[in-house]
Structure 1
Amino acid sequence: MQTFGDLSSNRLNLLLVGLATNPAAPKSLIDRLLEKPWAEFEIASRQPHLSIGQLKRILSRSGDFAAQAASLRKLPPDIAAIAARHRNSLVRQQSIISLTNQDVKFEDTVIAELERLAGDEECNVRESLARTRRLPDRIRYILLADSNARVRAALPYGWDDIPREVYNKLLADSNQAVRIAACQTRRHVPTPGMLLSLLSDRTTRATAIPFIDLVEITPPSSLLGDPDEEVRAACLGTAKFAGLAEKKLRHDESISVKVALLVSPYVSNLTRKSVYSEVMSGVTLNDPTSFIVREIVNSCWDDQSVLRWVGDTAQTDWESLLESPCLHLRRALARSSKTLPPAAICDLLKDSDPTVRTITATFARNLSEENLVKVVEECGDSTKGYPHITRRREFPATAFMRFAKSDKVRLRSLAAFRTNSVEVLGQLSSDPDFTVRLACAKNPHTSRKCLSILLRDPVDSVAQAVAANPSIPIEWMIELESYIL
């Protein structure tokens, strides 16, 4: 019993919990720990290698939290069936993923469990089932007759090949949420008569407008003056209203309409630039980080969308874009850095905001080792993206040796977590800051000698991390197991 020294009951429990989550822990040890209520949840949520018997044990006999954690896994059908009958509705809801994944054959036993879930007393369970993309039609027709509108509204989102007659039934449902959901999914093109009916219904009008370009009808021009801003904004996204919508809505003060003017392919570059200038100069709203800018960024998240804001000649406007006071815009540009010219990337790497620099270094192509290391070194302590930069193939392993000697705790912790150098880990395992020692305790390349020292660390979480490290010797696991009563 020399490895662990004198252990308090609290320290012992923490070490055993760490060992319970160790992927290299023997099955016999996990079985013994499952008898301890304080270890159930950690095992269920963090132990990657659980046997069929252990999963059955957790789902049948453990508390609700442990069962919920276990049900998040990809379960075999017979184990998922146990989860589907669990007393906790969240466990039943999560079992749907395992019962309907691509590897499962819809045999009679599986279908019987799905039918049981289709009649579950909890609406959330039935709604989740209705949203499932892989589901026998027999189950879907049961859900189609559900009395709760939330369940019917969920069906078109998961039913990719929904029959036209079923889709039309949902479009004509008595509940507006169901009609809106059917319009939003656009599984089929409605008939002209059905579309005119949807356009006359104020609850479905905005979601039905995208169908206008697909149906042979003349849309009513009154839609451009609709009191609902979402309706007016939707008109800007249709070809049939092109030109006319831009002319009538150019000076609309609605945020939704302004966002639509900026992102619509049917709006001229001249109008788009004008609206963009208003927003950025504060004519519309004085705050450069205002809601409208966030809405624009959320509406144009793909790589090319930011360029569309200033038209097809966006390359000539890089300087003004990169100098924008709006952080949302500069961060959106950084996320689009794969498509930006080299000069723009250089400017983003010099941005005053560390998050802009971090995002650029994460996504931009063909960056030098020097640039990558510099961004990581200059990141603020509150910036969380820099670990992704160190995972890039171009990131030099030698940089971790430099980080290990830094006066910044953040860099020493990063070196301890990412390096595979036994020498560097040996140096950092006695670091005065416990977060650095904690990173060493988690690193599978840390030497046995250093791990034995870290086991006696005064900080409990460091010792616990050693117990969870898959590189600890099996004899340590056996010795620790002997402490279990």
Structure 2
Amino acid sequence: MNHVLCGLATNPALPSELVDRLIEIADGDLAEALADREDLSHAQSVALAARGEGAAVRLAHRGGLTVADVDPVTQPRVALALLDEGIGSPEWARLLAVDPDVRHREQLAACPGLPPDVMETLAADADIRVVAELALWTTPQMAARLARHPHAEVRSAVAANDRTPPAVLAMLITGEGLPPAQRCLVCDREATPFVHDPSCPRPDCDLRPGAACDGSHQSTVHDLHERALRNPATPTEAVVGFADHPSMLLRWQLAARPDLPPQVCERLAEDPSPGVRADLAENPAIGEALMRLLATDHDSEVRRSLAFNPRLPLDVLAQVAGTARIGPTLLPRIAAAGAAEVEELAASPHPAVRMLLAERRDLPAGIRDALAADPDAKVVKSIAGHPGLSEARLRAMVDRHGVRVVARVAANPDASPALLEDLAHHEPPVRKALREVARHPHATPLSLLACLADSRARRTAAGHPAVPPQVVTGLLADDDCDVAQAAAANPALPLAGMSRCLAALSQRGPA
């Protein structure tokens, strides 16, 4: 991979004639990088598609190729990409449905809008991977048919399909009304009873760790149940019994469902697994009484998850904010708080609560400015990125709290060029602040030169359009290939530098 050429390929300022020259020498990574350009003409897209199948597939997904540009016989993956986008001839689908390459048939099975006869062909495929892939994405009618398939892997895939009729999903869980499955991936390959060793030494073995079958296909049935529990189309009454299931993973999946009845929520609140209780705590299905109970849970992760519940009462939020490490993040309940609640939160005696409110970016000016003057550094750090703060307030934050807030101030969208220069030269240096300055649209050449002195910020700064052109040109030869690639992609790179770089590198042959 030639990093400089790949950088040039994504440079928005690259003239069309230089794009043509890159296409002429493109191979592999370079061709795929060129395929992501927004300014390719149709002729350029067709020429680029001829340079490599990977680029052609990407172009097909991005709308750069038409049906007339693709031969499904010689370019099956490209044809599949168009079919996946809902474009392509039904004849392509019929041709690919009998393709000798199982990977192509499997990919076709996931495409939308397949003709009925093609679905019938795929449903009868000799390779179970193809049938299972069809079951994941197919129509309700075909899903109902495949629920009766003799292979448990296909039934498991049907359980994951959110287009499967609810009554069929209930049948898959209980088994009632369905003939027993006859095979699974385990008993297809091994004499039963068999449990796959998680440390299996066979390099060609693709069974999952712990896959097992004693004739009941138990690991595949477990997967089916897990998928059905995740499926929003599965009826509530079909899943409530899993509250007492011996599998912690299944109880965990159940705890996250938003349609749980109160008695099931109460049962799960007593679950011995903290992971189950944590997912339940975040679930908006639980009532206030359970929220207050979970706020006293001995496990901090449960209390932290409760903070993310969008229906949490504010007084409970204040309680968990003081006992769980939530960090600077915008909680759903904070984001939904009304004007009166915002005032209440801003007046909270708990710095952790004010910090969480400060993560909102639509606060009234008075509350925003009051939080900017908060005596607690955590609160100030959270409010520092809020738009509308004056330069004087931003500088006052840095004066009061120093390195604890410098990076967040540097990320403020209204930070002025002069302020960014001062932050880039702050003593002691703040590496996170340099990375923020390096990506800030207001950064000046002087501040970016300071960022180039830091190994991590250098990679971002090298692509900033405010870097002086002569500096960008010099960075093309940087020892760090990521820096060189970012410089090559920088629209500030002079045209003469683009041409010289392309001429020198293209003499070495395809990228």
TM-score using structure 2 length: 0.62
Q: Determine the structure 2 residue equivalent to 1:469.
A: 490
Q: Does 1:372 align with 2:348?
A: no
Post-superposition Cα deviations, 1:62-108, rounded to whole Å, max 9, x if no partner, equal 4x766676666444234873588448xxxx2x753433436x4x5xx
Query: Does residue 21 of structure 2 align to residue 23 of structure 1?
Result: no
> Does the 8 A contact of 1:361 with 1:389 survive in 2?
no
The residue number in structure 2 matching 1:418 is 440
State the Cα distance separating 1:228 from its structure 2 match.
Answer: 4.6
Contact 2:308 2:331 in 1 (8 A): no
Q: Secondary structure at the match of 1:443?
A: coil
What is aligned with 1:253? 272
AA partner of residue 122 (structure 2) = L
**1:155 and 2:134 correspond:** yes
| Unmatched 5+ stretches in structure 1 | 1-9, 283-287
The AA in structure 1 aligned to 2:437 is A
Q: Select 2:448's aligned residue among 416, 428, 432.
A: 428
Structure with the larger helix share? 1
Q: Is the 8 A contact 1:403 1:411 kept in 2?
A: yes
Report the alpha carbon displacement of residue 458 of structure 1 after superposing the two structures with TM.
7.7
Question: Match of 1:274?
Answer: 293
Match for 1:111: what amino acid? P
Aligned partner of 2:200 in structure 1 is none
Secondary structure of 2:13's partner? coil
The whole-number CA distance in structure 1 between the counterparts of 2:254 and 2:435 is 53
Q: CA RMSD in A?
A: 5.2
Preserved CA contact (<8 Å) 1:334 1:348 = no
Does the C-alpha gap of structure 1 residues 336 and 224 become closer, same or farther in structure 2, counting only changes over 3 Å?
Answer: closer
Q: How far 1:154 moved relative to its partner?
A: 3.4
Task: Give the alignment of 1:146-295 within 5 angstroms.
Answer: 146-155=125-134, 157-159=136-138, 162-164=139-141, 166-184=142-160, 185=162, 187-190=164-167, 194=171, 198=175, 203=221, 226-228=245-247, 242=261, 245=264, 251-254=270-273, 258=277, 262=281, 268-278=287-297, 281-282=298-299, 288-289=300-301, 293=302
Q: 1:457 and 1:237 mapped to 2: Cα distance?
A: 49
Q: Is the Cα–Cα contact under 8 Å of residues 170 and 178 in structure 1 kept in the other structure? A: yes
SS in 2 for 1:119: coil
Cα 1:450–1:173, aligned 2, differ >3 Å: closer, same or farther? same
What residue number does 2:214 align with?
A: none
1:116 equivalent in alignment to 2:95:
yes
Counterpart residue number, 1:41:
29
Q: CA deviation at 1:321?
A: 1.3
- After superposition, residues 282-361 of structure 1 pair within 5 angstroms as 282=299, 288-289=300-301, 293=302, 297=305, 306-308=309-311, 314-327=313-326, 330=327, 334=331, 337-340=334-337, 341-342=341-342, 344=345
Q: Retained in 2: the 8 A contact 1:349–1:360? A: no
Q: 1:73 to 1:95 in 2, by over 3 A?
A: farther
Aligned residues of 1:171 and 1:182 also touching (Cα < 8 A): yes
Closer/same/farther in 2, CA of residues 154 and 65 from structure 1, 3 Å limit: closer
Rounded Cα–Cα distance in structure 2 between residues aligned with 1:238 and 1:458: 51
Asked whether the equivalents of residues 79 and 92 of structure 2 are also in contact (C-alpha less than 8 Å), the reply is no
Q: Give the C-alpha shift of residue 472 in structure 1.
A: 3.5
Identity %: 20
- How far apart, in 2, do the equivalents of 1:239 and 1:21 lie? 43
1:132 and 2:111 correspond: yes
Aligned partner letter, 2:436 = L
Deviations along 1:236-273, whole A, 9 cap, x unmatched? 89999946546766644355754575466665543453
In structure 2, give the amino acid aligned to 1:130.
Answer: A
Separation in 1, partners of 2:350, 2:475: 38
The 1:135/1:252 distance shift into structure 2, 3 A limit, reads: same
Q: What TM-score, normalized by structure 1, do the two folds share?
A: 0.64
Distance 1:137 1:331, change over 3 A: farther
CA contact (8 A) 2:106 2:133 kept: yes
Alignment partners' CA distance in 2, 1:334 and 1:221:
29
Q: How has the CA–CA distance of structure 1 residues 476 and 320 changed in structure 2, closer, same or farther, with 3 Å as cutoff?
A: same
Q: CA deviation at 1:322?
A: 1.0
Contact 2:61 2:85 in 1 (8 A): no
Task: Tell me the amino acid that sits aligned with residue 490 of structure 2.
Answer: N
Cα distance in 2, alignment partners of residues 235 and 464 from structure 1: 47
Alpha-carbon distance, 1:388 to partner: 11
Task: Name the SS for the 1:24 alignment partner.
Answer: coil
Which structure 2 residues correspond to residues 388-399 of structure 1 after superposition, within 5 A? 390=412, 399=419
Question: Following TM superposition, by how much is the alpha carbon of 1:169 offset from its aligned partner in structure 2, in angstroms?
Answer: 1.0
The match for 1:7 is none
> Aligned partner of 1:315: which letter?
L
CA shift in 2, pair 1:365/1:141, >3 Å: farther
Are the equivalent residues in 2 in contact too, given 1:237–1:264 (CA < 8 A)?
Answer: yes
Counterpart-to-counterpart distance in 1, 2:170 and 2:458: 70
* Contact map agreement 2:411 2:436 (CA 8 A) in 1: no
- Structure 1 residues 445 and 169, CA gap change in structure 2 (3 angstroms): same
Do residues 144 (structure 1) and 123 (structure 2) align? yes
Distance 1:120 1:471 in 2: 48
